[in-house]
Amino acid sequence: MARPPYTINPAFMAQVKATVDGLIAQGLIVMLNVHHYRQLDGDKLDNGEAAVPDDLVQVRFVMLWQQIAQTFKDYPNDQLVFELYNEPHGRMQTGQTPSGNSDAWNNLMAHAIAQVRATNPERIVVVGPTHWNNAYWLNQLRLPNDPHLIVTVHQYEPFNFTHQGAEWTNPRKPIGQTCCSDSQKRQIVSILDKAHTWSQQNKYPIYVGEFGAYAHKNHTDEVTKQRVNFNVFMREEMERRNMSWAYWELASGFGIYDLTSGKPREALWRSLIPAQ
């Protein structure tokens, strides 16, 4: 709803709850997040997204989490994890370099965590830095004293490779990029080392919540080979640093699952989960 108390549509909440229940029944650990809230970041609204006065956007965000936390408060802590918000950016940060600040996000994050803790005192909550969860902005992240937090970063470098042909990039990245040269490997390692060093200094574990490489609709076997190279290098480097991770995503442009055949794309699947 676009007015106080910003009640989440009951039918939509029931659908979310049913999805979470189904996944848990399959033995999966579920991470439940607010993924896109365009007005919060100052982006163009999605179709059907209802706006509120700008001075109430953050209030609504906190109240959404109050409702989510209340709905799922009795779920086992080892089967359901909350992630406050995917890739905060725009209005949640000041400046376009890590020398800026993330005060808006830090303050909002603290208020939302407080609401979650009122009903979920020990549930894992995942939070990340601004600039789309960029590891180089970790130094701007200010966390409350909370032992049940995990910090996430997203890793899509080398971007010209991972987003080649992606329709939403502007300008669109040219197709034909390969991975992984020595310079590309150094770029990836630099980012993971940045996150690893921050983790050691601040005593919070790092979860690489997104990484992957896009395949345009006319992709070839060679593109798949290059994506496998990227996945294998990323997986090995993350695991070398004891980082947990999740691949983006299941069955769309980055996907490892083919909806037409109803089967995983074997080479991509094995690049992430090697045969034992």
The number of helix segments (H) and strand segments (E) in the chain equals 9, 8
According to CATH, the superfamily of the domain at 160-276 is Glycosidases (3.20.20.80)
Where the chain has pLDDT below 50, the residues are none
Is the N-terminal amide bond of 83 cis, ω within 30° of 0? no
Q: Which residues are within 8 A (CB) of 250 and not within 5 positions of it... i.e. 6 or more apart?
A: 256, 257
Residue 65: predicted pLDDT: 98
Query: What pLDDT, on the 0 to 100 scale, is given for residue 242?
Result: 98
Match 């994890």 to its residue by tokens. 81
The structural domains of the chain, with segments of one domain joined by +, span 1-155, 160-276
Q: Write down the pTM of the prediction.
A: 0.95
Q: Are the C-beta atoms of residues 258 and 265 closer than 8 Å to each other?
A: yes
3-class DSSP state for residue 77?
coil
Would you state the torsion angle of the CA atoms of residues 165, 169, 171, 176, taken in this order, to the nearest 10 degrees?
-20
User: Taking the mean position of all CA atoms in its chain, how far away is CA 235?
Assistant: 17
Q: How far apart are CA 55 and CA 49, in angstroms?
A: 17
Dump pLDDT digits (tens) for 165-203.
999 999 999 999 999 999 999 999 999 999 999 999 999
Q: Tell me what pLDDT residue 247 has.
A: 98
- Which fold is adopted by the domain 1-155? TIM Barrel (3.20.20)
Q: Give 149's strand partners.
A: 125
Hey, do 1-155 and 160-276 end up sharing a CATH topology, with the first three levels equal? yes
Q: Provide the 8-state DSSP code for 269.
A: H
pLDDT number for residue 44? 95
Determine which helix (DSSP H) or strand (DSSP E) holds 233, and give its type and residue range: helix 221-240
Nearest to 199 by CA among 189, 207, 209: 207
The pLDDT value given to residue 168: 93
Residue 48 is predicted with a pLDDT of: 87
- Determine the 3-state secondary structure of 229 from DSSP: helix
pLDDT at position 3 is 83
**At 28, which amino acid appears?**
L
